[in-house]
């Protein structure tokens, strides 16, 4: 069997899994609902895009990014900032102050960098920088705090945040990419060129910080109060159900209006996401085959030789790190759009960072198609490990009384087995098939 056939069959297999999910309730793990199949597919597509971004960094350049959650969350923030309408009165109350404070903060850091570059090394420079930063920080807080208070006191039950620009939501996707790229630039500048472990730790840190900003800066993202009712690119189900034309054609297909409207919207998202995925995949393939991609892989395989040939390795790494993170940002924006809400409290590194890594490793690092396959397949498993685990435990404890303690405890805890299973899958792949299902050519 040729490689291509094998790889095509793998994709077909994933398709079959989704089809089974849509059609049958057999085997205990499939739900037999098209609704559920499409939900899995949509998140699978988003996961595939994230995996594509991480694969760019890891597969092409060997960069180890464990801050995917942060970039994803920034993408989510972009949706709020781009697509939400501005909260009435927020800008006049304190928005200007906040903006000014942010500019002041940026200026402080710029000034510190200037001081570092211009002054001669020594105690003066260190003291100067410290004084600059401390004074800058207090100025920043003095300007910022009243603005924040003012904004947060506007209708706190429903708003209390600055709102957004009220632009079309699809525009938020590239904006999400830009935000993530900006954060990646800062991290890359700091940690690239050092040992690979350092980049890992630095990205782990920035992700936590981005998240704590999202959770605590209510004026920006409403924090744990969540931003709900984000605009979306597709019609609302209710509107569809009230549209006689839609109801009629749904009846034609043999669906009741409620189901039809949900499926219609989900299918719409699936198409949108597939389009984005295909564009990004095409771009990633082009990049991989271009001289730039070859150079990247040459650097990954032998950094010393590449350096000796005069390649600016750190700069190349910075480029690809920013690109990969931007893709994660786009995916994050797409995910928030799909959910129509930003819920900073639900971001969790195990789910948003490490799971993506499992996808990349399982799919095949260094191969874009592998990343896509891994993204959808592992997402499917992530969803299905739980019912599977419950089924197994029920089977194992079937001898016990219905209400016995171990049985109850086990069933209650079955949900946590998915982390265990994902870890096991990662370790097994790494050990026995480190090149993944669709290996690099």
Partner 1 sequence: MDVLNALVALSNFVLIPGIAYGSQLALGALGVTLIYGILRFSNFAHGDTMAFGTMVTILFTWWFQSMGISAGPLPTALLALPIGIVATMGLVVVTDRAVYRFYRAQKAKPVIFVMASLGVMFMINGLVRFIIGPGDQRFADGERFIIKARTFKQMTGLDEGLAIKTSQGITVVTAIIVVALLFWFLNKTRTGKSMRAYSDNEDLALLSGINPERVVTITWLIVAALATIAGTLYGLDKSFKPFTYFQLLLPIFAAAIVGGLGSPLGAIAGGFVIAMSEVTVTYAWKKVAGYLLPESLAPDGLAQLLSTDYKFAVSFAILVVVLLFKPTGIFKGKAV
Residues in touch with partner 1 (CB under 8 A): 62, 64, 66, 137, 145, 190-191, 194-198, 200-202, 204-206, 208-209, 212, 215-216, 348-350, 354, 357-358, 361, 412-413, 416-424, 426-427, 430-431, 434
Smallest gap from Cβ 217 to partner 1, in A, equals 10
* Tokens representing residue 300 in the block: 């990954």
For partner 1, give the closer residue by CB, 315 or 416. Answer: 416
For partner 1, give the closer residue by CB, 61 or 438. Answer: 61
234/314 Cα distance (integer angstroms): 42
For partner 1, give the closer residue by CB, 210 or 265. Answer: 210
3-state helix, strand, coil in the chain (%, to 5): 80, 0, 20
Bridge partners (DSSP) listed for residue 163: 86
Q: Report the sign of the C-alpha dihedral through residues 236, 237, 241, 246, in that order.
A: positive
74/63 Cα distance (integer angstroms): 20
Helix (H, G, I), strand (E, B), or coil: what is residue 260?
Answer: helix
Residue 21: how many CB atoms within 10 A of its CB? Answer: 25
DSSP output for 183-230: HHHHHHHHHTTS-HHHHHHHHHHHHHHHHHHHHH-HHHH-GGG-EE--
For partner 1, give the closer residue by CB, 188 or 375. Answer: 188
Residue 318: how many CB atoms within 10 A of its CB? Answer: 20
* Tokens representing residue 261 in the block: 């409207």
For partner 1, give the closer residue by CB, 276 or 359. Answer: 359
For partner 1, give the closer residue by CB, 197 or 256. Answer: 197
C-beta separation of 227 from 161 below 8 A? yes
C-beta separation of 61 from 320 below 8 A? yes
* Tokens representing residue 307 in the block: 């350096």
Smallest gap from Cβ 264 to partner 1, in A, equals 37
For partner 1, give the closer residue by CB, 98 or 280. Answer: 98
């Amino acid at each position: 069997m040729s490689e291509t056939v094998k790889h095509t069959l793998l994709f077909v297999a994933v398709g079959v899994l989704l089809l089974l999910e849509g059609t049958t309730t057999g085997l205990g793990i499939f739900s037999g609902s098209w609704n559920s199949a499409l939900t899995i597919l949509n998140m699978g597509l988003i996961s595939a895009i994230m995996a594509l971004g991480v694969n760019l960094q890891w597969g092409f350049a060997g960069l180890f990014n464990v801050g995917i959650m942060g970039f994803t969350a920034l993408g989510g923030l972009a949706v709020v900032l781009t697509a939400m309408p501005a909260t009435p009165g927020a800008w006049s109350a304190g928005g200007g102050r906040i903006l000014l404070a942010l500019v002041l903060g940026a200026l402080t850091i710029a000034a510190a960098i200037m001081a570092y570059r211009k002054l001669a090394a020594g105690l003066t420079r260190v003291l100067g920088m410290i004084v600059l930063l401390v004074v800058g920080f207090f100025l920043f807080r003095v300007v910022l705090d009243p603005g924040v208070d003012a904004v947060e006191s506007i209708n706190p039950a429903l708003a209390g945040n600055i709102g957004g620009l009220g632009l079309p939501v699809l525009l938020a996707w590239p904006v999400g990419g830009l935000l993530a790229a900006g954060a990646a630039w800062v991290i890359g500048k700091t940690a690239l060129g050092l040992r690979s472990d350092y980049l890992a730790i630095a990205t782990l840190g920035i992700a936590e910080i981005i998240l704590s900003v999202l959770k605590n800066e209510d004026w920006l993202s409403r924090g744990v109060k969540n931003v709900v009712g984000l605009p979306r690119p597709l019609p609302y189900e209710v509107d569809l159900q009230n549209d006689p034309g839609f109801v009629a054609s749904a009846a034609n297909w043999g669906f009741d209006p409620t189901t039809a409207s949900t499926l219609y919207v989900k299918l719409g998202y699936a198409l949108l996401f597939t389009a984005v995925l295909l564009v990004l995949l095409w771009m990633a393939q082009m990049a991989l085959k271009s001289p730039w991609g070859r150079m990247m892989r040459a650097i990954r395989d032998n950094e010393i030789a590449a350096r000796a040939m005069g390649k600016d390795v750190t700069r190349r790494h910075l480029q690809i790190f920013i690109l990969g993170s931007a893709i994660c940002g786009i995916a994050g924006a797409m995910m928030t759009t799909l959910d129509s809400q930003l819920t900073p409290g639900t971001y969790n590194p195990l789910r948003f960072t490490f799971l993506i890594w499992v996808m990349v490793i399982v799919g095949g690092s260094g191969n874009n198609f592998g990343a896509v396959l891994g993204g959808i397949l592992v997402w499917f498993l992530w969803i299905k490990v739980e019912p599977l685990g419950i089924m197994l435990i029920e089977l194992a404890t079937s001898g016990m009384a219905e209400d016995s303690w171990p049985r109850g405890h086990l069933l209650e805890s079955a949900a946590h087995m998915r982390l265990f299973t994902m870890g096991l899958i990662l370790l097994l792949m790494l050990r026995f098939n480190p090149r993944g299902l669709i290996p690099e050519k």
